[in-house]
């Protein structure tokens, strides 16, 4: 096994173990006992970021960290990445609408009450912690094997995790977001910009729509149309500037060699199977 495949194997195995522990709690243990909501939340966080992350760290700790230089991206690149987040949201909207049309079940978006805790998790905690795990640690372990390898593995693992928590339509959406944020991390050597982008994505794609829906559904609809317009603008700018986007010094997002390298690792297929099982359990049987 070459060094790249070994690093991919251990990193993907670590993330599968980390979230597998949390999913066991979520799908089996949590539903078999009755606890106060606050205690359930605390146990969930401990199982994921306490026990799960510790296992992830133990599996990956012997992998040597990459050394990469700090860099800068232009304001135009930052704007493009910002708009592409709305492109990802537009893609999600299209997928959900097609799914509803095919199944005949029209899904009404859930409008949940925003509490201080949920705002804290969406805008601060999740963006920082998820960027540390999926962008920073993945970059430490994989970036030396190429930007394409790093971006694909980071985004792929990030997307499948959200398939369990949010549903299958979210996989492509979060994969696109993961590609945007891992690109920024690869180019800057830092997660601060990706964490800010992550926070803005949650704020504008989730929090704002719920706040506006609580005031007026017409306002929420107008805001949704604005996001779609921004998403279309992002897609057009991406097409226009595609040849200027460089990954591993080449004008392409990723190569066939990158895909082959990643999907030849057995751990990747194990991760897919584990995730698929928990998606079925979570969204069909529970």
- pLDDT-based confidence at residue 154 (cuts at 50, 70, 90): very high
pLDDT on residue 256? 85
The CA-based diameter of the chain, rounded to the nearest angstrom, is 58
pLDDT on residue 67? 78
CA nearest to 80, candidates 88, 91, 69, 70: 88
> Is the pLDDT score of 269 beyond 70?
yes
The whole domain housing 94 covers 3-285
Answer yes or no: are the C-beta atoms of 207 and 130 closer than 8 Å: no
CA nearest to 153, candidates 92, 162, 145: 145
- pLDDT-based confidence at residue 1 (cuts at 50, 70, 90): low
Most confident listed range (54-58, 240-244, 257-261)? 54-58
Q: What is the DSSP string of 154-204?
A: HHHHHHHHHHHHH-TTHHHHHHHHHHHHHHHHHHHS-SHHHHHHHHHHHII
pLDDT on residue 199? 98
- pLDDT-based confidence at residue 41 (cuts at 50, 70, 90): very high
- Beta-ladder partners of 27: none
Average pLDDT for residues 9-19, to the nearest whole number?
A: 97
Q: Considering only residues 103 and 9, tell me which one the structure prediction assigns the higher pLDDT.
A: 9
> Is the pLDDT score of 216 beyond 60?
yes
> Is the pLDDT score of 175 beyond 90?
yes
* Count of the separate structural domains present in the chain: 1
The dihedral through the CA atoms of 263, 265, 269, 272 has a sign that is negative
Q: How far apart are CA 166 and CA 37, in angstroms?
A: 20
> Is the pTM for the entire model greater than 0.85?
yes
Q: What is the pLDDT of residues 93-144, one digit of tens each?
A: 999 888 878 876 655 555 566 889 999 999 999 999 999 999 999 999 999 9
């Amino acid at each position: 096994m070459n060094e790249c495949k070994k690093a991919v194997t251990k990193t993907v195995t670590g993330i599968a173990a980390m979230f597998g522990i949390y999913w066991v709690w979520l799908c089996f243990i949590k539903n078999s006992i009755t606890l106060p909501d606050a205690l359930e939340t605390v146990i969930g966080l401990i199982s994921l970021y306490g026990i799960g992350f510790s296992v992830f760290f133990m599996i990956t700790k012997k992998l040597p960290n990459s050394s990469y230089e700090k860099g800068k991206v232009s304001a135009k690149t930052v704007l493009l990445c910002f708009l592409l987040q709305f492109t990802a949201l537009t893609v999600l909207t299209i997928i959900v609408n097609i799914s509803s049309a095919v199944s005949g079940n029209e899904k009404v978006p859930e409008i949940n009450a925003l509490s201080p805790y949920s705002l804290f998790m969406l805008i601060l905690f999740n963006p920082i912690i998820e960027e540390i795990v999926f962008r920073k640690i993945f970059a430490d372990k994989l970036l030396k094997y190429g930007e394409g390898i790093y971006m694909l593995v980071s985004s792929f693992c990030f997307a499948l995790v959200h398939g369990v928590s949010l549903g299958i339509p979210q996989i492509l959406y979060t994969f696109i977001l993961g590609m945007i944020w891992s690109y920024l991390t690869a180019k800057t050597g830092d997660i601060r910009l990706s964490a800010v982008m992550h926070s803005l994505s949650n704020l504008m794609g989730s929090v704002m729509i719920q706040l506006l829906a609580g005031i007026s559904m017409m306002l929420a609809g107008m805001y949704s149309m604005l996001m779609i317009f921004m998403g279309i603008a992002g897609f057009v700018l991406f097409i226009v500037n595609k040849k200027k986007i460089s990954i591993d010094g080449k004008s392409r997002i990723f190569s066939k060699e990158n895909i082959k390298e990643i999907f030849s690792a057995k751990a990747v297929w194990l991760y897919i199977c584990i995730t698929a099982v928990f998606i079925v359990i979570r969204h069909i049987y529970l």
